[in-house]
Chain A
Amino acid sequence: MLFNSFEFVIFFFVVTSLYFLVSHPYRWILLLLSSCYFYMAFVPVYILILGFTIIIDYYAGMLIEKSTGKRRKIWLIVSLAANIGVLAIFKYYNFLNDNLTALLSGIGKSNPIPYLKILLPIGLSFHTFQAMSYTIEVYRGNQKAERHFGIYSLYVMFYPQLVAGPIERPQNLLFQFYKEHKFEYNRVIAGLQLMLWGLFKKLVIADRLSIYVDSIYNNAEHHNGPTFIVATVFFAFQIYCDFSGYSDIAIGSAKVMGFDLMTNFRRPYFATSISEFWKRWHISLSTWFKDYLYISLGGNRVTVPRMYFNLFFVFLISGLWHGANWTFIIWGALNGIYLIFALISQKYRDRFNEFLGIARNRQFHKILQILVTFALVCFSWIFFRAANFHDSSLIIHRIFTTGGSVFIGNMFLFIYCILAILLLLGIELRQELKGQILYFNSDQLVLRNISYMFLILLILLIGVFDGGQFIYFQF
């Protein structure tokens, strides 16, 4: 069930209404059943995979807590192996097999290992990572093992964040299922506002931009450099509005029922450096990798070269997390390189800026930093969006070697895309400076209602209703 579907509007209304009607001790049953229904609306049978990892992690959690010494570690490894194993089979098996086939054909041999004819379960990487964070936290002693099987299942399956995050931590979410949430006017309004904003970003901006972006990236051979630059900038905003739109709807729908999910995006294109970008983009995943991989590798408390390696490795894995394709791995590696380069060059860049006098003009310096960061991020998006390595190389080659005029296609759409991006930037700039979306939190009832009407009317008039899935569902 997609957040941008009419089915979800009905589902959300029914589940939320029932949630406040049902007495507290039975609410977890309602949420669990509705989450199962939500997930089974995609491919019903894949709920068995979820069931498998839930059972393993539920018992692993209790066994880790009970055990001491080596046994504790063994149970953690069992849990991690089960989760990573599921990921490996469903997400990476065919990719690895593809590479093996290519390798063997290079030496004139054929690959005897068969391919699996399976569909990637929706949101697999998200709920697997959330499940892993539970057993790791129990192992680290930061979280007590959950005794209530239903509540633990709900922790993994809570429908707002089941298929595309935010990837929660047990310390933040589990206890909330035990709390009795009363109907709170301000909280419900805040949740609905966030949902409206998310829906606007997805339907009015992301899905419109995707029409232009797809027409360019799906016909890479026919376009020139300037066209790819424009398409890549459009894609940067498309993926942001698509994913952050999803996150806003997820966080908003949970908030209406009284749950606080972690913030996933904080206007990332206002970041002044790549490091800041990653503190603003997909925060729940970035912090997951920091907490469970980067720190486990030693984090900053190692030699400088080792720290660089840790950074690079974490981003490489982050790329692989996104998809079983070399383009994602390169995308991850590129971001790792950006960060390492930023660390190495910091001193020299500061001196250079001082020398040019840029640093003295703070505003100008900040704008310059935002633009450079955005350009670097856009460059990495080429790998993220391109269908394969051949296309991404072709696009980069064209960007640096060919000129000409930008392909406009449908003039309305093109102008619309530019206006939509400017509108988004305007609204987000206000949010960045004043902390509110449009006049959502104004004391004036009229201003608030005008803000709501403005977004709702734009959704009805310009929103793409047949746009389909969110990009991050495939991960």
Chain B
Amino acid sequence: MVFFRKILILVVLLLAVDFLAGAVLKHFYFRQKSGIDYQTIYSVEKANEDILFFGSSRAAHHYVPDIFADKYAMSAYNTGRDGNYILYGYCLAKCIFERHQPKLAIIDVSRNEFQRKEGSYDYLSSLLPFYGNYESIRDIIDKRSRFEPVKLFFHTYPYNSLFPVIALNVIREKSKALNIKGYIPLYRSIDRPAKVISKEPDYELDPYLVDTFRQFIKKCKENGIAVAVVCSPYFDKYEQEDATLIKVKEICSEESVTFLDYSQDARFTGNQKKFDDYNHLNNDAAKEYSAICSDTLRILQHKIN
């Protein structure tokens, strides 16, 4: 009996400490003034721009909202986030569309994005702090593991690993992140010539990711939001068509949505001066690319609408 009494005391103590620490972390998490998590908070809770960009780091580094805003005479915001892909974008869209419908949603897709791989839902941890308040994204976040709802019983779990980041972002003044509306510029040039990749290993598509992409498009259409899907430029030259992009093209065609594939655009691909690394354009090239992309989308605007 002594054992169980002591264990009970320990469990109660643990739950109390967890509750307190979780409450403190939650308080400060949502009071961050800058940084990557701030961008997610802004996207989920405040974004009210006319044009929204969704995607991974390639979206975050490739689409300059001001250029689109000028061209369309509309406001624009880039919700792209490093290391986060279609599930993240779809979750953001679900949260945003509950309170605001933008006029245009631009979804940036990457090669291999729908590849089935172990741990490919792990990145959804960036949305754990929103699990409690946004019921619509719970089923997607639950994909992380069978026990996700049980783990979320602990109040500190959504803020796992975030403690130092939260502390710093609360203390420091607003960074440039807000000023550039979610776009994160890169400034280096790549120091190696482009590779010519004739064949990549075949891979299996993850049906859940493919379906999410389709649902994403449908969700936009249901909300009366014009949607365009884009694959931005890559540095290396790929001679083989990618399975994800083939699927994207197919779904876009079925859903009558514009798909622009710049992945092998000769104006960018292979040009060392235009890339920060093999996946990301640098700032100058991102501006050039944004201008090209926005022009093309304007021409296609009647189709989009």
B contact residues around A462 at 8 Å (CB):
160-161, 163
Q: When the two chains form their complex, are residues A416 and B119 in contact, meaning their CB atoms are under 8 A apart? A: no
Q: Closest residue to A452 on the B side, CB-wise?
A: B10
Contact flag A453-B147 (CB < 8 Å), given A460-B154, A466-B125: no
Q: Which range holds the interface residue count of chain A? A: 20 to 34
Note all chain A residues with C-beta closer than 8 A to B122: 466
Cβ-neighbour of A457 out of B147, B156, B161, B168 (below 8 A): B156
- Which residue of chain A lies nearest to B168 when distances are taken between CB atoms in the complex? A412
Selected interface stretch from B14-22, B194-202, B265-273: B14-22
Give the docked Cα–Cα distance between A457 and B168 (Å): 20
Separation of A462 and B165 alpha carbons in the complex (Å): 11
> Are A456 and B3 in touch, CB under 8 angstroms?
no
At the interface, yes or no: A464 with Cβ under 8 Å from chain B? yes
Contacts of B168 in A (CB 8 A): 412
A318 to chain B, nearest CB (A): 31
In the docked arrangement, what's the CA distance between A412 and B146, Å? 30
Asked if B13 CB lies within 8 Å of chain A CBs, one says: yes
Q: When chains A and B are docked, how far (Å) is the Cα of A150 from the Cα of B150? A: 36
Chain A residues contacting B165 (CB-CB under 8 Å) are 412
Which residues of chain A have C-beta atoms less than 8 A from B159's C-beta?
461
A453 and B160 alpha carbons, distance in the complex (Å): 16
Q: For B13, give its contact among A188, A449, A460 (CB under 8 Å).
A: A449
Q: A185-B2, A468-B119 are in contact. Are A416 and B164 (CB under 8 A)?
A: yes
Of all chain B residues, the one with the shortest Cβ separation from A415 is B164
Residues on B with beta carbons closer than 8 Å to the beta carbon of A6: 145-147, 150-151
Interface status of B262 (Cβ within 8 A of chain A): no
Q: How far is the CB of A298 from chain B (nearest CB, A)?
A: 47
Q: Which residue of A lies closest to B14 (CB)?
A: A456
Q: Which single residue of chain B is at the shortest CB-CB distance from A203?
A: B160
Closest Cβ–Cβ distance, residue B256 to chain A (whole Å) = 38
Interface centre among A452, A456, A461 (most CB of B within 10 A): A461
Which residue of chain B has its CB nearest to the CB of A466?
B122
**A 22-44 to B, binary, CB cutoff 8 A, 1 in contact else 0:** 00000000000000000000000
Closest to B125 in A: A466
Closest Cβ of chain B to A144, distance in Å, is 36
B148 — nearest CB in chain A belongs to which residue?
A: A6
Within 8 A of B (CB), among A143-190: 183, 185, 188-189
Question: Smallest CB-CB separation from B156: which chain A residue?
Answer: A460
Q: Mark A319-352, 1 if CB is under 8 A from B, else 0.
A: 0000000000000000000000000000000000
Fill in one digit per residue for A445-460: 1 if any B CB lies within 8 Å of its CB, else 0: 0000100110011001
**Residue B157 at the chain A interface, CB threshold 8 Å:** yes
Query: How many angstroms between the C-alpha atoms of A463 and B156 in the bound complex?
Result: 11
Residues of chain B from 42 to 69 with CB closer than 8 A to chain A in the complex: none
Chain B residues with Cβ below 8 Å from A460 are 18, 21, 154, 156-157, 160
Knowing A452-B10, A466-B122, say if A412 contacts B164 (CB, 8 Å): yes
Contact of B17 among A10, A416, A457, A464 (CB under 8 A): A457
Residue pair A453, B119 in contact (C-beta under 8 Å) = no
In the complex with contacts A185-B2, A466-B119, A468-B119, A461-B14 CB distance below 8 A = no
> Which residues of chain A have a CB within 8 Å of any CB of chain B?
6-7, 10, 183, 185, 188-189, 412, 416, 449, 452-453, 456-457, 460-466, 468
A-B contact pairs, 21 of them (CB 8 A): A6-B147, A6-B151, A7-B147, A10-B147, A449-B10, A453-B13, A453-B14, A457-B17, A457-B18, A460-B154, A460-B156, A460-B157, A460-B160, A461-B21, A461-B25, A461-B160, A461-B163, A462-B163, A465-B160, A466-B119, A466-B122
Q: With contacts A460-B154, A460-B157 known, what are 15 further pairs, Cβ within 8 A?
A: A6-B146, A185-B2, A452-B10, A452-B14, A453-B17, A457-B17, A457-B21, A460-B160, A461-B159, A461-B160, A461-B161, A462-B160, A464-B161, A465-B160, A466-B119
Q: Residues of B with Cβ closer than 8 Å to A?
A: 2-3, 9-10, 13-14, 17-18, 21, 25, 119, 122, 125, 145-147, 150-151, 154, 156-157, 159-161, 163-165, 168
